[in-house]
């Protein structure tokens, strides 16, 4: 047990050590290779990085719970886009336009409800059919993206509300609104996963689904709630982001599911389920943003950034596999 606890602590601390290495490397490399004369990461840039991490970060937190369960959700990018369209378009409806800024909480509610409903559809199909979540959400990813294009063709959906913009751009204690949403979501989900029966059940199901069923855990309804939760979080991410930008394109959110999964895996969550950490996923999100900014700072193009992140992800998965294999061998001895 002590060995397992020590291994878990190493896993959880590894992502933060990686962030420190990134900061040191790009700060030094920037002195010689930077295409600009600005410092790589001063305090203001760090605050901006946290704000920019929020859209992917909020989704990645939900993906952590799904993956701890032993599932995956590939539809979050499409859910994000559809919730954004509902948010902005609903504010132009005649009865919404007539009530002025009172339409804002209603529009948020419509967008969040959209995410919950789409997540519930995924959860119900996984629960009632027994089809693997990868296949179910691959299909719903295509279907939900189709709904995005059906809603407004290939045209962007736009509505700029200055009250929303002011709210989204506001700062409290130096942190942007989006950052507060990210940190608040991380805190609430950490409490959910560490202090509640639902969280303990998530780990139990991911470790051994059959044993969880035999222990009396209702696996199907548990899946349903978690898919509804990630749908809600994908919609919340859209609410946070598009309250400021005011315009959504039909292709927005594409590849968000892959970025979210990458952040979760970098944070140490097992693809097979049963292990993961909300706080480490937050570190994974920050590490990816640092990597993208750092490589851009020294003049790397987008293709190089994606290549480097892909190689790091493969290395992390290989290392995780080797550590898990070594752990199983130690348990046998």
Rounded Cα–Cα distance for residues 273 and 208 (Å) = 9
pLDDT score, position 22: 85
Q: Judging by DSSP bridges, how do beta strands 175-176 and 247-248 pair with one another?
A: unpaired
Rounded to an integer, the average pLDDT of 176-204 is 94
Percent of the chain with pLDDT strictly greater than 90: 45
Share of the chain above pLDDT 70, in %: 89
Mean pLDDT of the chain: 86
CATH architecture assigned to 37-317: Orthogonal Bundle (1.10)
Residue whose token pair is 């045209």: 155
What is the per-residue pLDDT across 276-329, written as a single tens digit (0 to 9) for each?
999 999 999 999 888 888 887 777 777 888 888 888 878 877 876 766 665 555
Q: Is 114 left (phi over 0), alpha (psi -120 to 50) or beta?
A: alpha
Whether the model clears a pTM of 0.85, i.e. scores above it, the answer is: yes
């Amino acid at each position: 047990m002590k060995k397992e606890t020590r291994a878990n602590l190493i896993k959880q601390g590894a992502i933060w050590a990686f962030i420190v290495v990134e900061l040191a490397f790009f700060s030094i490399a920037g002195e010689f290779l930077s295409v600009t004369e600005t410092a790589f990461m001063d305090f203001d840039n760090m605050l901006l990085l946290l704000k920019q991490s929020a859209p992917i970060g909020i989704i990645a937190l939900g993906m952590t719970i799904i993956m701890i369960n032993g599932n995956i959700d590939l539809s979050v990018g499409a859910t994000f886009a559809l919730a954004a369209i509902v948010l902005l378009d609903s504010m132009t409806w005649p009865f919404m336009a007539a009530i002025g800024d009172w339409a804002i909480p209603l529009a948020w509610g419509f967008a969040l409800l959209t995410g919950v409903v789409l997540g519930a559809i995924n959860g119900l199909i996984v629960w009632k059919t027994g089809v693997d979540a990868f296949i179910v959400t691959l299909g719903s990813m295509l279907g939900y993206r189709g709904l995005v294009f059906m809603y407004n063709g290939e045209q962007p959906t736009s509505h700029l509300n200055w009250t929303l913009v002011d709210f989204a751009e506001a700062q409290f204690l130096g942190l942007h609104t989006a950052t507060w949403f990210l940190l608040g979501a991380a805190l609430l989900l950490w409490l959910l996963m560490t202090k509640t029966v639902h969280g303990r059940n998530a780990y139990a199901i991911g470790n051994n689904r059959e044993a969880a069923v035999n222990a009396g855990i209702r696996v199907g309804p548990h899946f349903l709630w978690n898919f509804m939760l990630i749908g809600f979080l994908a919609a919340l991410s859209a609410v946070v982001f598009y309250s400021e930008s005011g315009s959504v394109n039909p292709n927005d959110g594409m590849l968000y599911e892959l970025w979210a999964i990458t952040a979760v895996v970098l944070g140490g969550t097992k693809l097979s389920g049963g292990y993961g950490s909300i706080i480490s996923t937050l570190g994974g999100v920050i590490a990816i943003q640092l990597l993208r900014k750092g490589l851009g700072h020294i003049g790397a193009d987008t293709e190089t950034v994606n290549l480097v992140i892909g190689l790091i992800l493969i290395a992390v998965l290989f290392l995780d596999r080797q550590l898990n294999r070594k752990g199983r061998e130690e348990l046998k001895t």
